[in-house]
């Protein structure tokens, strides 16, 4: 993840203190809704991106009708995949249309527009997912990913981003077989590792992508997110994910099944094999 802090991009301080929020239902995806130069995506033009975020903040601070106290978005993602910190984690954002909508979801804006650069790059889509995963892991964001227009009358986030959101906002290449996890291996690990000696791994190569996804979901402590062991903490985290998918009782026992593992993989960049 290429995170650009407020200090790094030269943010002005908020006009007034930002409201703290503990959690949200999830995240809404936005676009600029104005022309964006077509050549901004060229690698040599990344040097312009920080200035563009400063311009967005300046425009928001100058908008007396909305009376923004800061840049409205939680994060802004440039075509090169860099994630610019807006209001950031645990801060009420102001981009979703009204106070209630702002309470329910964080906001991530892709630096694309309604003309010029309208198609997000693969690096940008990956960066938007990086921002969403950070909001889940450290900002209390729930699993919902929606477009700005979902529940509010607007063209935002534009057709390309809205289509991507409706597909579940997959990471680029997630369905192309880049990373494949064996369901049978993961199930065996989930049944074997918890009762084994501390640090025991059965199929670490298959378990690690699942651990990383559970960390991104905010369900597994990052300290246990790359050990390759499907231990008791990972079982508990997976059970929590199963409950998020609507399963209860014995169907949410932390032992992966085809449907939940596929759902997890589609969100976090791996496919599921037998």
- Which CATH number among 3.90.420.10, 3.40.80.10, 3.30.360.10, 1.25.40.10 corresponds to the domain 2-166? 3.40.80.10
| Tokens read off for 145 | 């990913």
Percent of the chain at pLDDT exceeding 70:
98
**Positive or negative CA dihedral for 39, 42, 52, 154?**
positive
The pLDDT of residue 177 is 46
Task: Yes or no: say if 191 and 238 are a contact pair by the CB < 8 Å rule.
Answer: no
β 75-77/105-110 pair status = parallel
The pLDDT of residue 111 is 98
Least confident of 79-88, 107-116, 202-211: 202-211
Tokens 């600029």 correspond to what residue?
A: 32
| Tokens read off for 262 | 């596929």
Q: How far apart are CA 110 and CA 74, in angstroms?
A: 11
Name the residue among 206, 226, 232, 120 with its Cα closest to residue 169: 120
| Tokens read off for 119 | 């198609």
The one-character DSSP state at 27 is: E
- Give the pLDDT confidence of 161-215 residue by residue, as tens digits: 999 998 888 888 654 446 889 999 999 999 999 988 888 899 998 999 999 999 9
Sketch the domain layout of the chain as residue ranges. Answer: 2-166, 180-273
pTM of the predicted model as reported, rounded to 2 decimal places: 0.67
User: For residue 25, what is the enclosing H or E element?
Assistant: strand 24-31
| Tokens read off for 7 | 């200090």
**Positive or negative CA dihedral for 124, 131, 27, 182?**
positive
- Give the pLDDT confidence of 127-144 residue by residue, as tens digits: 999 999 899 889 999 888
The one-character DSSP state at 19 is: P
Q: Residues near 192 by Cβ (< 8 Å), separated by ≥ 6?
A: 200, 202, 230
The pLDDT of residue 198 is 81
β 75-77/82-85 pair status = antiparallel
Mean pLDDT of 87-100: 96
- Give the pLDDT confidence of 2-51 residue by residue, as tens digits: 999 999 999 999 999 999 999 999 999 999 999 999 999 999 999 999 99
The pLDDT of residue 273 is 85
Q: Which residues of 188-222 are buried (b: 16+ CB within 10 A; e: fewer)?
A: ebbeebbeeeeebbbbbebbbbbbbbbbbbbbbee
Q: Describe the crossing of helices 232-244 and 258-268 by its angle, rounded to 10 degrees.
A: 90
């Amino acid at each position: 993840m290429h995170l650009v802090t407020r200090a790094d991009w030269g943010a002005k301080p908020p006009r007034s203190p930002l409201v703290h929020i503990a959690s949200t239902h999830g995240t809404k995806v936005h676009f600029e809704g104005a022309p964006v130069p077509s050549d901004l995506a060229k690698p040599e033009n990344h040097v312009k991106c920080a200035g563009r975020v400063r311009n967005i903040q300046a425009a928001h601070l100058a908008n007396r009708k909305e009376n923004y106290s800061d840049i409205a978005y939680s994060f802004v993602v440039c075509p090169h995949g860099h994630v610019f910190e807006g209001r950031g984690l645990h801060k009420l954002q102001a981009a979703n249309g009204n106070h209630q909508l702002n309470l329910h979801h964080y906001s991530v804006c892709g630096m694309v527009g309604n003309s010029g650069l309208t198609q997000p790059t693969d690096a940008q889509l990956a960066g938007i997912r990086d921002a969403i995963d950070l909001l889940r892991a450290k900002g209390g964001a729930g699993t919902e990913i929606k477009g700005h227009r979902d529940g509010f009358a607007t063209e935002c986030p534009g057709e390309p981003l809205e289509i991507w959101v409706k597909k579940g906002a997959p990471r680029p290449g997630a369905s192309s077989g880049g990373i494949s996890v064996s369901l049978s291996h993961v199930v065996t690990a989930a049944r074997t590792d918890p009762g084994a000696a501390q640090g025991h791994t059965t199929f670490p190569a298959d378990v690690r992508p699942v651990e990383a996804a559970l960390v991104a979901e905010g369900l597994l402590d990052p300290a246990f997110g790359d050990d390759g062991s499907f231990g008791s903490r990972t079982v508990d985290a997976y059970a929590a994910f199963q409950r998020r998918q609507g399963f209860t009782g014995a169907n949410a026992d932390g032992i992966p099944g085809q449907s939940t593992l596929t759902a997890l993989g589609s969100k976090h960049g791996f496919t599921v094999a037998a």
